Amino acid sequence: MLRTRRVSYLEGLRYQGKESMLAWVLHRITGLGILFFVGTHVVAAFFLNAIGDNISKSVTLWYESTPFQIFIYFCVLYHAFNGLRLVVEDFYPPVLRYRRELLWLQWLIFLPVFGLPAFLMVLSLFSGSA
Amino acid sequence: MRFRSAGQGSALEYYLWLFTRLSAVFMLFIGAFGIIYANLAGGRLTMDTPTQYRWGFFPIYWHVQNSDIPDVFPNWSNSFWRVYGMIFLFIAAVHGFNGLRIVVEDYVHRPILLLLAKGLVFVLFLFVVGAGGVVIFELF
């Protein structure tokens, strides 16, 4: 069945998707983010050690910068928390009754665990010690 | 967007679905084990937090080299961690590239393009695992 999407993602979030759709979109984005980073990292490390070219050097500098590290920390942490919730829901479906509560609980745990280190990383970025 | 109806998938599709869940839990344990091991092996005094997280993310000794560790060999670089890292990389790559395949199937509809895209995903998978294996076992 083919169906064209007539609403934007933001409209979908407001209309019916709400927390679940946000989790789905973020799970997808963070998953692709991790795959992109790990793929780039592995390939760059390979070429850096095999031939030591300048492209690998600048790619390495780029993903070692603080903004990218914060992004990748967000990706890994969100994907891990959300994935754990999905596994619990898939293997023990009765909790689906409390799905909204689970999603909010997940944000409640995620935000401080992500926010504090991210805040410290931003601080060190501006104080210049990173 | 294409919607898949229930009961449409093959047995392989089911096993990959199951693998994604099981490997997810497995990788959470791997991350926890990496950080706990780092602290038990003296990392609490010699490693800063980013180094511990890098080691927890992937246990390869390059991730601890910049820290204040005198000799990397006994705790951080030996055959155990190489084999362990290779298994971890393989499982993570299957998990990740299978996820990419599912995303591709959601957005690419023309059969010929889908075949090409899935082929590209498979080639990328082989390349990342191969290059990662060379890096882990230092076969330069």
Tens of pLDDT, residues A23-39: 999 999 999 999 999 99
Specify the DSSP element, H or E, that contains B137: helix B111-137
Bridge partners (DSSP) listed for residue B2 = A2
Task: State residue B5's pLDDT score.
Answer: 56
The Cα of B80 is separated from the nearest Cα of chain A by a number of Å equal to 20
Q: Find residues 90-119 of chain A whose CB sits inside 8 Å of chain B.
A: 90-91, 117
- Phi/psi of residue A41, nearest 5 degrees: -60, -50
SS (H, E, C) B77-103: CCHHHHHHHHHHHHHHHHHHHHHHHHH
Nearest chain B alpha carbon to A5: B1
Contact A80, B28 (CB under 8 A): yes
Q: Find residues 16-35 of chain B whose CB sits inside 8 Å of chain A.
A: 21, 24-25, 28, 31
Mean pLDDT of B47-55: 86
Contact state of B1 with A5 under an 8 Å Cβ cutoff: yes
Contact B21, A87 (CB under 8 A): yes
Residue B29 has pLDDT above 90, yes or no: yes
Contact state of B21 with A34 under an 8 Å Cβ cutoff: no
A10 or A53: which carries more pLDDT confidence? A53
Which band of pLDDT confidence, cut at 50, 70 and 90, is reported for residue B51? confident
Tens of pLDDT, residues A45-86: 999 999 989 999 999 999 989 999 999 999 999 999 999 999
Reported ipTM: the value is: 0.88
B131 inside 8 A of chain A by CB: yes
Residue B127 has pLDDT above 90, yes or no: yes
Question: Of the ranges A70-84, A101-115, B43-57, B92-106, which one carries the lowest mean pLDDT score?
Answer: B43-57
Residue A1 has pLDDT above 70, yes or no: no
R_g (Cα) of chain A, nearest Å? 19
A83 inside 8 A of chain B by CB: yes
Task: State residue A24's pLDDT score.
Answer: 92
User: What is chain A's length?
Assistant: 130
Tens of pLDDT, residues B11-25: 999 999 999 999 999
B60 or B48: which carries more pLDDT confidence? B60
**Per-state percent for chain A, helix, strand, coil, to nearest 5:** 85, 0, 10
Tens of pLDDT, residues B81-108: 999 999 999 999 999 999 999 999 999 9
Task: State residue B71's pLDDT score.
Answer: 81
A88 inside 8 A of chain B by CB: no
Partners of residue A37 in chain B, C-beta under 8 Å: none
Task: State residue A92's pLDDT score.
Answer: 94
Which band of pLDDT confidence, cut at 50, 70 and 90, is reported for residue A129? low
- Alpha-carbon distances, residue A56 vs A44, A62, A69, B65 (angstroms): 5, 10, 17, 19
